[in-house]
Structure 1
């Protein structure tokens, strides 16, 4: 047990010394600074000194490993060969032999009648020997237990030592890798330092050259500045003169263009003096016809839009803000010449004669493409504000109401959009804002909500209905 304790103390001291030697976190140098290139000579010296310390630590660790291996071998030998335990076992075996011999002698003497006293003494001695034998067996059991515990402690210590050895070996490997990486970094730093010195020399030379060029350039710019200032003054004078002449020329050109447009428009009006609607069931709708060389001709529906229809309706004096065009001869095919094709109006023209088109009678249409229009507008009546009331539609020059059959918010939204309101819209029925008199123009109106004019929506036809004015439809427009 004394030897075990001594070995354990020696091992603990060895591990403590090893842990102290592995502590490489203590700084070796406290003063080092970075140069413009990244590291100076002090930094390199610091790295080299740290490498030397790491190598010393590795050597010390190798010696520690050897010492630990010797201690482990001694412990194993001690567990296998214990002199005290073997001596005890030998003494117990010898004593047992002596006890057996005494017992044999006792049995022999008990057969002799005159040896009673001696037999009693021998019997007592045998009992003593039995007691001593039992004590020795108990002591052997305790020794075996102690030996087993000792072996268990040795096994635990052996595992701890092996774990420590593994960690130490791993740390040594890591330190070796760190040394290799530091050496590589030092080589790289040395190479960069050399390159930076070369670049600094080159930059210094370039800076000197640039300064020389800058001085020369400043001298040249100073000389050119005076010349440039004079040229700018001359150019400014010339520009003012040219600008005045250009302004006068543009003014004359605008005057000439205005005069030419007026003459062209007058010429168009003279060529197309009149327009009319033919074939409709009501005033304000029909096939568009224009007078050309004292004869009536038709207009092709190519490129024809609602804007063109608005221009013609306004020219005829009819309602026009919701006017629509209809293609493919909806009011029947005309006769004679197709006078106009590809008509494009901008909106403010006072007559179709002012709109762009192909040359007169130059077309690629047949009379199945004769265009028709509907002169149409809406307004509200009877409401407390301009955003609500009974819907009044005008066809041509005649006002009429709308029946509330199938009337819904989509229909109301189209009416409000025609009036310039782009918020939500509410449809109302049963003449909430008062009954109208006279014509009922529309019934069973069904709009999708995106139409630009109520006349584009599906309905029974102008004047076709089965309603009374108690069913007049109205709307409420929201901003």
Structure 2
């Protein structure tokens, strides 16, 4: 269910170096509270930055990057289009009301903040803010990143930092518009769970030359349920390295399904085990031995064996039914 009138009357950023960076705090009616990072993205952050007279958002660090707040945690999903001048003009959805702690408080850094020039700020230069050539602000300048040793772990951190969901594709792109003597970056190493690129190992500078550099496609739609359930029931498919694939049901249980339903904003998992009436998939089997605790915001936060490693067949494909099924 979505509504236009939100009740959110004021917003502010606290805990940063200035009023244009910090932990997001919104006033709902008369009470101030924080925002769950699972309910907050770059479009909503852009609207808040404009509302505060701080320009546009350059980063949306989660996981209480600006410290834990106190009081209520607002878990409404803001569905801003980016043209709004005030958060009260954005549609909100209550589908994403999930348990969230102050360890998941969302933050924002706007262009009007001194923090916008910190090492580790990222941007993607393409048709949208969530895909394109990767550039990182390092030593007071924007630099592109060489493809050497770059992996989905590092790309996942970039997408998370931008509030753009998960990394669904990494590809090499040419250094058009870059002189051969320009400085590029290489050597980033992340575990994949960091909320910000500055939490990964420091990069090295390298003359760009003719080496290819990193481009990334991020998407919040990196998993889906394929069937007749209106997107809330069906065979679970995940997007990885440019291809949709399935998940093996080894060790799969209701806690894993709860995370999927939450991530898809489809309510709660209602059936365990799921009847096998939705058919087997085709293509790669991407995940096996998934072990969610049930409280995770995303399937990517759950442990599993490495991508593509399994001992399954498509008859073992996971199927999920959520309460939001049509």
TM over 0.5: no
Q: RCO (CA 8 Å, sep 6+): is it higher in 1 or 2?
A: 2
Which has the larger helix fraction?
A: 1
Q: Which has the larger radius of gyration?
A: 1
Q: Normalising TM by the smaller chain, what interval?
A: 0.3 to 0.5
